[in-house]
Amino acid sequence: MNLTRALEVALPDIPARKLAESYPRLDPGTTFREHIEDGRPMVRIYVPCSGGMYTFEPQDWQLAQLFNGERSYEEIAELFSNQTGTQYDLESVREFGDELEGGNFWYKTPQERNILCLQQSLEERRKKLKTRSKWADLSEVTFPAFNPDKFFTWIYRYTAWIYRPWFIAVCLTGFAISAGITATHWQAIGRDTIEFYNFSNRTWVDVFWLYVLGMFVVALHESAHAHACKHYGARVPAMGFALIYLTPAFYTDTTEGSVKGSRSQRLVIALAGIWSELMLCSVATPIWWGTPPETLIHNGAYFVMMLTGLMSLFINWNPLIKLDGYAMLCEIIGISGLKEDSTAYTVAWVKKYIWWLPVEVPYVPKRRRLGFAAYALLSGAYSYTVLYVVARFAGNFVRNFSPEWGFIPEIGVAMLVFRSRIRLLVNFMKFVYLDKKDRIIAWFTPRHTALAALAIAIFLALPLRRESVMGTFSLEPAREAVVRARVPGTLMQVLVREGEEVKAGAVLARLSNLPLQSEYEDARAKYLVASEEANAAALRFRGYGEALQERARLNARVGQISEMTEELDLRSPIAGAVVTPKVGDLLGAYLRAGQELLEVADLRTLRARVYISEFDLSKIRQGAPARLQVDGQVRKRDTNAEYVAARPTEKLPVGESEEGLRGLNGPHFFLVDLMVDNADGTLRPGMTGVARVYGRRRSLGARGWEWVANFWGRKIW
């Protein structure tokens, strides 16, 4: 038997008693400053022993300053009554002190802190260690912090010049140069930024360097906040490292800067982090621009640009998430807890007035209510979007190595990220159920039940929605023509380039055929001679018929060769755009008769070819209205089904593949053509998307009955 364990159960720990009774006292290192918040004076206090910031009204702060550890509650009550001219009793002062004691406000010596730790029971500490160890929750793994105040005090002595106007001007110049390089190379940088942050096509080496450079950038970011605090005379008592969903994250305690700094100084402290990243980006951008591609320094600079460029700027300055942009917004509008207050107000309002739940809505001035609701909704949507993107990152990375199983870590990370939100949703649904259960049961009397059934039946019988069929499509020109060489020749001149608009009959290119041209000149000369001989025979009245026949024969020959010579100019049979790439590369090449040179397509009207399953073909007719959306575009385009094939096609729909198990024999697909107006020129052949072709309006009941009838009718007949 374990004797130690038996004693722990039988003899629970007795809380340690204080060595001596003492009165509360203020931390000697406390710093404070009065600020104007929400139009009224408030005092911000930073307490080093607890590492927290507190906000007091001036009168409460005046009372708190009287607690020096030596005065009794009676003495403090008497002294404060004399200072304010208002009578305060002993119990009021004692309650005030006890409230601050619960908030860990008062100063405690190291010995008192040790005694306080001993007062926690051994069982509670064991439960805490079991339920939340350092590695128990991968959503936030926190490592021990350290005190960097001496280091930043030392380094500030040699780097205080970065706040000088001349250095700020140098930084702004560097920002402008980087912005110019980014703008001129935006086609590549914008595409690579999205590719970089979606974690597709990544290797383990890329992940390693991403972590290394990411830790460096984040450390620089947080160090900049600490450096700005030292610039305004505030202490930096803690700096640490954590993993947020296994992503490196540093944190810095700049609470004293928020207490001692004015509004403009607090804005500078919040701005310092992203300013440091922009400084790093302004150095990396010219290096990337001026170094040879595919070199180590070139690729390293580009990697730094991706980490510290526009994406980082947009994320850190976005006020919808609690980062630097949020802190700056709170300082500008003077509301310190904007996200918490707006979310609490909006959630309570929805619960009370939408769900009719018995909750109390926090009071918010009328001028703020609309802004609070808008900010809470936008912030919530953005926060959930960020969490969704985090889950997608994991799936994209695993798909690089195993495309079939990438969904498993994606779902796992999503469950890990959204588990607290799912728990809140479940609790809310339970709350709604318990609150409404009795009233709903009481409402369903026989009469009300009959009325509800009648309303549901009417709703199911109303033809509210149209039947529709969805399918993928690929755009192609509705009218196109191939320009070929009708006669052989050497391509001597190309008069158009890819994408150029041409008119019907316009000359696109010119060929050269010296034998043909020589033959034309020879035939023309012989025709002229034959014409002279025919005229002379007419004057002599001898051999005139033979001369006329020879002239006619040569005239036909000249016309035939002339038509062939005109074919050396290749003309466009239709009006449209040249869609063949790199036409000029064939310049000087010999083209055989019938050889294709280029293709002209009329892009003002495109054809969307949609493949509809045979099971859905009965829902649509020729001329039926349709709507399509091209991938990558928000706009939806209305059109009609111009053609519905009478026979199935052998071609598979866009995105389908013959690989994989198909079980029973797959359905046949029929081709449906949709003509799309492209007068604005925003569409191109080859674009893909999803189209929806609409049928007649039918009720939900009829559609449901048809589905059941078809389900059984396929097997029972």
**What is the predicted pLDDT for the residue at 172?**
92
HEC states along 290-312?
HCCCCCHHHHHHHHHHHHHCHHH
pLDDT at 196: 66
Q: How far apart are CA 379 and CA 392, in angstroms?
A: 20
Looking at residue 445, the DSSP 8-state letter turns out to be -
Would you say 345 and 319 are in contact if contact means Cβ atoms under 8 Å apart? no
Token pair of 676, please?
């799309």
Q: Apex CA 589: angle with CA 584 and CA 590, to 5°?
A: 140
* Residue from 246, 247, 410 nearest 315 by CA: 247
| Contact status, residue 272 vs residue 225, Cβ threshold 8 Å | yes
The DSSP result for 363-396, as a single string, is P--HHHHHHHHHHHHHHHHHHHHHHHHHHHHHHH
Give the H/E segment covering residue 54. Answer: strand 52-56
pLDDT at 132: 46
Task: Report the residue count for the chain.
Answer: 717
8 A C-beta contact, residue 648 and residue 678: no
Radius of gyration of the chain (CA): 41
End-to-end, the C-alpha distance of the chain in Å comes to 75
- Can you tell me whether residue 403 is helix, strand or coil? coil
Question: Which parts of 321-365 fold into alpha helices (H)?
Answer: 324-333, 338-353
Helices (H) and strands (E) in the chain, counts: 22, 18
Per-residue model confidence (pLDDT) at position 684: 82
| Cβ atoms of 227 and 272 closer than 8 Å | yes
Strands (E), 531-661: 569-571, 576-578, 590-591, 596-613, 625-630, 636-649
Closest CA to 638 of 648, 629, 651, 649: 629
Burial class (CB in 10 A: 0-12, 13-18, 19+), 215: middle
252/610 Cα distance (integer angstroms)? 57
Mean pLDDT by 10-residue block, N- to C-terminus, for the chain (717 residues)? 39 43 77 76 79 80 82 82 79 81 73 50 45 48 80 90 92 91 81 64 68 82 90 87 67 83 86 89 90 82 81 79 84 83 91 88 88 91 80 68 67 76 86 84 86 89 84 85 83 82 85 76 74 72 70 74 76 84 79 83 86 80 86 82 79 50 60 86 84 86 80 66
Please name each of the domains of the chain with its CATH number.
22-110 (3.90.930), 141-335 (no CATH), 337-443 (no CATH), 467-475+602-656+665-713 (2.40.30.170), 478-591 (no CATH)
Predicted pLDDT at 403: 63
Residue whose structure tokens are 């020749």? 489
Pairing of strands 596-613, 576-578: antiparallel
Place of tokens 């029973």: 664
Q: Are 259 and 46 in contact (CB under 8 A)?
A: yes
What's the farthest any 2 CA atoms get from each other in the chain?
154
Angle (deg, nearest 10), helices 296-308 and 186-197: 70
Spatial neighbors of 388 by CB under 8 A, at least 6 apart, are 414
